[in-house]
Amino acid sequence: MAGHTAVPLVDLVGQYAYLKPEIEKVVCRVLESCQAIMGPEVAALENEVAAYCHTKFAVGCSSGSDAILLAVLALNAQPDDEIIMPPFTFFATAGSVVRAGLKPVFVDIDPVSFNIDPYKIEEKITPRTRAIMPVHLFGQCAEMNPIRELAKKHHLVIIEDAAQSIGAEYHGVRTGQLGDMSCLSFYPSKNLGTYGDAGMTVTDNPTYAAKMKALRVHGSEIKYYHKYLGWNARLDALHAAILRVKLQYLDRWTQGRQEAAARYDRLIQAKNLDRYLTRPRALPERRHVWNQYVIRVEETKRDPLVAHLKENQIGCEIYYPLCLHEQECLKFLGNRKGDYPIAEQATREVLALPMFPEITEQQQDRVTDVLAQFFQK
């Protein structure tokens, strides 16, 4: 709309402008070294991310999706073994499991956190279950204590999908230490993102770490001698160097996101919008890192609201419009619409508002003004 400043869903321009001298310096360093893939930059990043996640090992790779695939293949599972996960998440959570030859088994979500409901997991455990894969969605950890108890009781591995939650904590324990392996994404829009695709899996288990390191280079522990059937999932040195710069700012950016979430809460309350929408909640004993700020609105109003926001140049996104069990390529799993009603309801009601560390109070005031225009007209 003319006369009003647009507010993007994610704005990486300001962040780049601030970091430009540092980023250009490390990019030139990598180019001058001619060490473009793996090498000392990747090794240094792995050490630094492992320290940040409080783990012993980190295995850099080419994407968050490959991080999940590496973790699943490290299990030495048999074809058609099962991994339990929520149906309300990005496709890679299930897609990587299927690519590894295993079967995703879905469990409905908690309606407040959008994370897997831990009290519905045990009924889905079978003799073929190998792992539980909780997703720490939107930057908030799943309810991990009961999940860890179940894993111990049934001798299962926990693989955290922490693609949206680096630095998030549950009862003072950071993602990376809440399971046996934890998978990170460095996609540009993530809290810690590079300028392309990159990922990492962190773990305390030396056996898992060694196998993942081999798998990412075509299954080779010794060059040209292939122990496993791996593939090319290597991390580029340029991405590693950029991420090393950005990692130094991650906690500052997390604080900015937390302050932005608190401002949204205050503005929504002040403009009497709570009667029209449900705000996201940071649950007790959590460090929420706010990869997204996701509201819920009545399903008949959600799509008209999206149109209204876009008309007024307010960025927004639906994470996610379909559950995994509703995706065409996963229908062979035999799930049907209605099997996971809480997750399915979420797909009809969720809407992410603009969220990035540098978002200003003026921008958030504009976002909430446009929301108020829609609901109070």
Please tell me the distance from the alpha carbon of residue 221 to that of residue 211, in angstroms, as a whole number.
Answer: 8
- Quick one: pLDDT at residue 56? 97
Please tell me the distance from the alpha carbon of residue 203 to that of residue 183, in angstroms, as a whole number.
Answer: 9
Other beta carbons within 10 angstroms of residue 331's beta carbon come to 11
Domains and CATH numbers, the chain: 13-107+115-247 (3.40.640.10), 250-375 (3.90.1150.10)
Residue 354 has which token pair? 């603009």
Please tell me the distance from the alpha carbon of residue 97 to that of residue 219, in angstroms, as a whole number.
Answer: 18
Q: Are 30 and 44 in contact (CB under 8 A)?
A: no
Q: Are 44 and 58 in contact (CB under 8 A)?
A: no
pTM exceeding 0.75: yes
- Quick one: pLDDT at residue 80? 87
- Quick one: pLDDT at residue 5? 85
- Quick one: pLDDT at residue 376? 83
Please report, in tens digits, the pLDDT of each residue of the chain (377 residues total).
445 789 999 999 999 999 999 999 999 999 889 888 888 999 999 999 999 999 999 999 999 999 999 999 999 999 989 999 999 999 999 999 999 999 999 999 999 999 999 999 999 999 999 999 999 999 999 999 999 999 999 999 999 999 999 999 999 999 999 999 999 999 999 999 999 999 999 999 999 999 999 999 999 999 999 999 999 999 999 999 999 999 999 999 999 999 999 999 999 999 999 999 999 999 999 999 999 999 999 999 999 999 999 999 999 999 999 999 999 999 999 999 999 999 999 999 999 999 999 999 999 999 999 999 999 87
Please tell me the distance from the alpha carbon of residue 271 to that of residue 268, in angstroms, as a whole number.
Answer: 5
